[in-house]
Amino acid sequence: MRRTITAALAVLLYSLTVTVFAPAAAPAPRYPTPEADPFFHAPADLADHAPGDVVRQREFHLGPYQGTDIWQVAFRSTNSGGDPIMGITTVLIPAGVVDPPLVSYQALINSLGTKCNPSHSLISDETPDAYGAVLPLSRGWAVALPDYLGPNVAYGAARLSGMVTLDSVRALQRAPELGLGRSQIALAGYSGGGLATAWAAAMQPTYAPELTLAGVAAGGIPADLEQMALGLGFGNHPGFGLAWAAAMGLEREYPQRLPISDQLNGEGLWFRDFTADECRRFLLFHGITRSAEQLAATKSLMDDPQAREVLRENSLRYYPNLPETPTLFWQGVFDSLTPFDAVADVADRYCAAGVPITFSRYQIAEHMTTAVVGLPEAWNFLEARFRGEPAPTRC
């Protein structure tokens, strides 16, 4: 990757080369610590499975969810480079309910460590929307929470998240012990989960055409990663910890095209390792006093066409494919974290193309407040689709 460096840095690099008689290797991405539990390990023959095929499954019990059958399912999925990866989803099924409607809820992971995934954090406060996500159990629905960031916890990798989400639903329908083979399916999620949800809906007609989705509800969608990165800039920002996580996650998914570690100074490399296995609250707390200017050795990354291309490839605003499913978007008009105009552009494009979309605008500025206020509308929207009511269009 070509970079602009100062003359002083050039002299320093030259002197280091003379000292060791060879150029230093560029820093590799820092991946999360491997899972200790063998359930999460991909088998040697993973590539022989089709996307969505079940690799293994297990049943377990959690105290807060009495009267609920809980399963974890490991399945084959695909990463952004087209390579096979193993995915995990956790599904809660009301005991004794036959063919319940199934909602795949993409939770707010917003993290870099495997311990932050729903497969580990379902009963901890590291999945902040977990209890809201499982409210539909009281309606007799099954609720699945996939680890949609993949085995490398590639936060920000939207295309990956869409594929893993769709493959997780395929797997649940292919596991006969679960009794979900004939269930109606819906997708829902907010913020990073809304990103995965919206991408899955747009990718479904081409990536998983055999799936029939009854409805989709996505809120607080980061629809333009390029716009968000440029808006963040190099100065301090209260959301820097999550932006940092997205940068590290995208490097994990695109190590050749987005070698961010190669752009970091010594403190940046230390902070990368310090945060590599951490979750949302840790990232926000330790990111609030830091900035890109403090951690980067160069400001040239956003000038690189490859970096901008990766961001656009993972921005719903620029993804041309259209969902075929009745869709609800809900967004805070004054949300400073996920820009409203990018989501509005997507909704306008869907509406013009005839997608049955309802776009709900909330006159709210705070990102998570919109999640709470809009969630009842999301569940009611999906319930109406499960009942077979005609989908409204409100652009």
| 138/107 Cα distance (integer angstroms) | 18
> What fold is seen in the domain 225-312?
434 Repressor (Amino-terminal Domain) (1.10.260)
| 192/158 Cα distance (integer angstroms) | 9
Q: How many contiguous H segments (helices) and E segments (strands) does the chain have? A: 13, 9
Where does the chain hold its CATH 1.10.260 domain(s)?
225-312
Instruction: Return the pLDDT at 12.
Output: 28
Average pLDDT, integer, range 353-360: 97
Closest C-alpha among 225, 230, 232, 227 to residue 246 = 225
Confidence band for 23, pLDDT divided at 50, 70 and 90: very low
| 40/34 Cα distance (integer angstroms) | 9
Instruction: Return the pLDDT at 299.
Output: 66
Where does the chain hold its CATH 3.40.50.1820 domain(s)?
53-224+315-386
The DSSP call for residue 355 is -
pLDDT of residue 107 exceeding 50, the answer is: yes
pLDDT in tens, 240-255: 999 999 999 999 999 9
Confidence band for 128, pLDDT divided at 50, 70 and 90: low
Instruction: Return the pLDDT at 5.
Output: 30
* DSSP alpha helix (H) spans, 263-356: 266-275, 280-287, 292-295, 305-313, 340-352
pLDDT of residue 212 exceeding 80, the answer is: yes
Main-chain dihedrals φ then ψ at residue 258, nearest 5 degrees:
-135, 65
Most confident range (mean pLDDT) of 56-65, 138-147, 223-232 is: 138-147
In 280-299, which positions are buried (b, 16+ CB within 10 angstroms) versus exposed (e)? bebbbebbeebbbeebbbee
Confidence band for 3, pLDDT divided at 50, 70 and 90: very low
Provide, rounded to the nearest whole percent, the portion of the chain with pLDDT above 90: 72
* Cα 201–Cα 392–Cα 345 angle in degrees, nearest 5: 55
Closest C-alpha among 275, 283, 273, 279 to residue 242 = 283
Instruction: Return the pLDDT at 26.
Output: 58
| 279/286 Cα distance (integer angstroms) | 11
Alpha carbons within 13 A on the beta-carbon side of 8: 2
Instruction: Return the pLDDT at 56.
Output: 97
Beta strands in the chain (DSSP E): 54-60, 68-78, 84-94, 102-106, 142-146, 185-190, 213-219, 327-332, 357-362
Q: What's the whole-number average pLDDT of the chain?
A: 89
Average pLDDT, integer, range 96-117: 93
pLDDT in tens, 32-87: 999 999 999 999 999 999 999 999 999 987 767 778 899 999 999 999 999 999 99
Instruction: Return the pLDDT at 22.
Output: 36
pLDDT of residue 19 exceeding 80, the answer is: no
Per this entry, what is the length of the chain?
Answer: 395
118, burial (CB in 10 Å: exposed 0-12, middle 13-18, buried 19+): buried
Q: Identify the residue with better confidence: 145 or 133.
A: 145
Pairing of strands 84-94, 68-78: antiparallel
Lowest mean pLDDT among 134-143, 265-274, 294-303, 382-391: 294-303
Pairing of strands 327-332, 213-219: parallel
Closest C-alpha among 121, 126, 202, 132 to residue 161 = 202
81 within 8 A of 73, measured Cβ to Cβ: no
For the domain bounded by 53-224+315-386, which CATH number is listed?
3.40.50.1820
pLDDT of residue 328 exceeding 90, the answer is: yes
Confidence band for 276, pLDDT divided at 50, 70 and 90: very high
pLDDT of residue 137 exceeding 90, the answer is: no
Helix (H) or strand (E) holding 170: helix 158-174
pLDDT of residue 14 exceeding 70, the answer is: no
From residue 76, how far is each of 55, 84, 86, 373 by CA, in Å? 7, 7, 5, 35
| 305/318 Cα distance (integer angstroms) | 16
